[in-house]
Amino acid sequence: MYTRSRSDVLFATARDCMPGGVSSPVRAYKAVGGSPVFIEQGAGAWIQDVDGNRYVDYVLSYGPLLVGHAHQEVVDAIQVAARKGTSFGACTEHESNLIRKIQSFMPLMERLRLVNSGTEAVMSALRLARAFTGRDKIIKCAGNYHGHADCLLVEAGSGVATLGLPNCPGIPKHVAEDTLVVPFNNLSAVEQAFEKHPGEIAAMIVEPVAGNMGVIPPADGYLNGLRQILTDQNALLIFDEVMTGFRVHPGGAQALYDVAPDLTTLGKVIGGGLPIGAYGGRDDIMTWIAPEGSVYQAGTLSGNPIAVQAGLATLNSGLNEWDYAASQAALLMNGLGAIASDKSVPMQVNGVGTMFSCFFTGAPVMDWDTASTSNVVFFAKVFRQLLIRGVHLAPSQYEAWFMSTVHDSEAIKHTLDAFDEALEVVLNDD
């Protein structure tokens, strides 16, 4: 029997002292109704809330937990690192070990700089691209989300799309004007942007598999087409692989689709659940970063030894079992699709590797316009029915489901049974 009381009490307290009661907006459940569950602990594929309810977790901290919750090797690595000291603001051996590990899967990242979040990685990469090219404008895609830096909160996905806040106040007009927005999966829009602003565009940043308007794979030839256009225009191609890195393929989207970005941004999995980010790429570009070059970027906690060790342990363990996680994702996607189809519920399942989305729409989803045809009211109802049946999703149609290496057949069966029942209840209520 699903009951809650303590979560509600804690949320009331949190609302008194935090905007919306949360540390990040999507967590407030505004798009799905009700109030958030407060999590007590996690182990493997499962989490438990403060009222003792258990859930199979597909949020996985929005992606980082490739090996599930409280994985023994990750916990051990964190404990060993913490006993030696939590932060030094000085060089440690394992920074290079983590970077070497990343480079063994993403060799195009010839040199990297570690930072503290995906947002920071993206801000830094864009500053570098602007310095390197001597140009100010950038291109991004509608519905892509690259963190909350001013110049990128324009027609963004993730929480911005979820809460319907396309134009965030507080962003200087001249900053927003330097961001050109094009539809995802549309090469001619990129060509037109260059025609309209010749010699002014420093870079295009793109999620090579979109993950923040739900998961949307690139159309055939899209990434190659971008590579060609950006090369022709002497502008840089930046792959934001904060979400896709080690998730769509062990070598990220750049390996899966065999397209070479000039710069790449990372986060999430490389910290195994602790705060981290990284940016890197061509050596001749990265050499512009201080202290080698004059593009300044710094951070007291950058390369934090605990985050670095958690990331290393996650990559060491997770990449050995990556194929299993991807096969479990495929199993679940097929199962969900079959259940929806049996009940004549229009639903598109989009997924690549270990991340996927279910859109409640009859139309194929390939960009923001088609993603936003998804029935978000229906999603909210299904979300609530799944929650009380022990399945924890991100409280947004536009966030991805993530699979881990420890989601076993019991977790998948539990999810499929819950989905079947949830759809039945929602259809009967409608």
What positions carry a catalytic annotation?
145, 240, 268
CB of 104 to ligand HOZ, least distance (A): 26
Question: Nearest 5°: CA angle at 346, between 241 and 183?
Answer: 40
Answer whether 78's CB lies under 8 Å from 310's CB.
yes
**Which of 47/286 has CB closer to ligand HOZ?**
47
**Which of 305/351 has CB closer to ligand HOZ?**
351
**Which of 145/419 has CB closer to ligand HOZ?**
145
**Which of 62/359 has CB closer to ligand HOZ?**
62
C-alpha 243 chain-centroid distance: 3
Answer whether 318's CB lies under 8 Å from 68's CB.
no
- CA gap 272, 71 in Å, rounded: 10
Tokens for 203?
Answer: 């870079």
Tokens for 228?
Answer: 């060609």
Answer whether 218's CB lies under 8 Å from 208's CB.
yes
Q: Label residues 346-375 b or e (16+ Cβ within 10 Å = b).
A: ebbbbbbbbbbbbbbbeeebbbbebbbbbb
CB of 61 to ligand HOZ, least distance (A): 9
**Which of 58/145 has CB closer to ligand HOZ?**
145
**Which of 10/26 has CB closer to ligand HOZ?**
26
DSSP notation for 20-70: GGSSSGGGG-TTT-S-PPPEEEEEBTEEEETTS-EEEES-GGGTT-TT-BT
CB of 369 to ligand HOZ, least distance (A): 20
Q: Is residue 238 within a helix (H) or strand (E), and if so which, with residue range?
A: strand 236-240
CB of 264 to ligand HOZ, least distance (A): 17
CB of 274 to ligand HOZ, least distance (A): 14
- CA gap 374, 173 in Å, rounded: 31
CB of 27 to ligand HOZ, least distance (A): 6
Phi, psi at 364, each rounded to 5°: -55, 140
CB of 253 to ligand HOZ, least distance (A): 16
Q: In terms of Cα–Cα distance, which of 115, 147, 122 is closest to 311? A: 115
User: Residue 232 class from Cβ within 10 Å (0-12 exposed, 13-18 middle, 19+ buried)?
Assistant: exposed
Applying CB under 6 A, which residues contact ligand HOZ?
24, 26, 62, 145, 158-159, 212, 399
Q: How many CA atoms lie within 13 A of 216 on its CB side?
A: 32
State which amino acid sits at residue 118. G
CB of 362 to ligand HOZ, least distance (A): 25
**Which of 138/156 has CB closer to ligand HOZ?**
156
Tokens for 27?
Answer: 């967590």
Please tell me what DSSP assigns to residue 19: G
**Which of 212/302 has CB closer to ligand HOZ?**
212
State which amino acid sits at residue 383. F
Answer whether 191's CB lies under 8 Å from 198's CB.
no
SS3 266: strand
